[in-house]
A and B are shown apart, each in its own frame.
Chain A
């Protein structure tokens, strides 16, 4: 049962990413990506991380992609942008990508055996994550909050039109 779900979500993920690549329209690409993130969220759930799954859907699919779509709307390109013209670049990239794939797969195969992921174990509750966040990872947590403020202020400052522009 779990395996089936896995393959379902996996197929959706890979499929929508492929669609994103092929699509010429930027808005379509964005929407494809939303589907991809959603399926990833599902996969996260399968991995016994319900909190993460929800976070993924809310933030990634819900906030970040919306941001992307807003920007696409603002830029408002009428014609679509075709794929890369230079064939050799694509060929090189694909080639190297496959090599990378092979390398990592090889690496994984060589790794020590890991126990199967079963469903008997309960998923990680937010409590556990919270506890970790506020004790062991307190320092990164606080810094991240500063980071978010910086990003916020930065984005606003960057976009602001100067006087008389």
Chain B
């Protein structure tokens, strides 16, 4: 008998850890990984909600989130590769051509 509150708090903690990870790292790939962490945290929250409110639709939402995240990861990584090809680096501090 686990109080659903625990799951929610865990989800929030993971989310915030993902945010901190995003700001901690300086290269594109790990920042992208941080985003995935955040998505998963959200998934966790959804499932907790599904179980506690007896609302199965939330699981379907999680299903979609995972799918979309996969697609997004594919494209995102393809772009990272392209950037690497062009600039020979993936350090985000060098990527500021959108300035101004």
Contact = CB atoms under 8 A, between A and B. Distances in A.
A/B touching: CB–CB < 8 A: yes
Interface of A: 2-3, 6, 10, 13-14, 17-18, 20-21, 26, 29-30, 33, 36-37, 40, 43-44, 46-49, 51-52, 55-56, 59-60, 63-64, 67-68, 71-72, 74-75, 77, 81-85, 89-90, 92-94, 96-98, 100-101, 104-105, 108-109, 114-119, 124, 128-129, 132-133, 136-137, 140, 144, 147-148, 150-152, 154-155, 158-159
11 contacts: A14-B10, A52-B43, A52-B63, A81-B25, A100-B16, A116-B3, A117-B51, A117-B52, A132-B60, A144-B68, A158-B82
A150 to B, nearest CB: 8
Contact of A117 (B2, B9, B70, B75): B2
B80 A90 contact: no
Contacts, number: 224
B59 A81 contact: no
Contacts of B75: 151, 154-155, 158
Nearest to A159: B78
B60 A152 contact: no
Consensus secondary structure, chain B interface: helix
A128 B29 CA distance: 37
B73 A47 contact: no
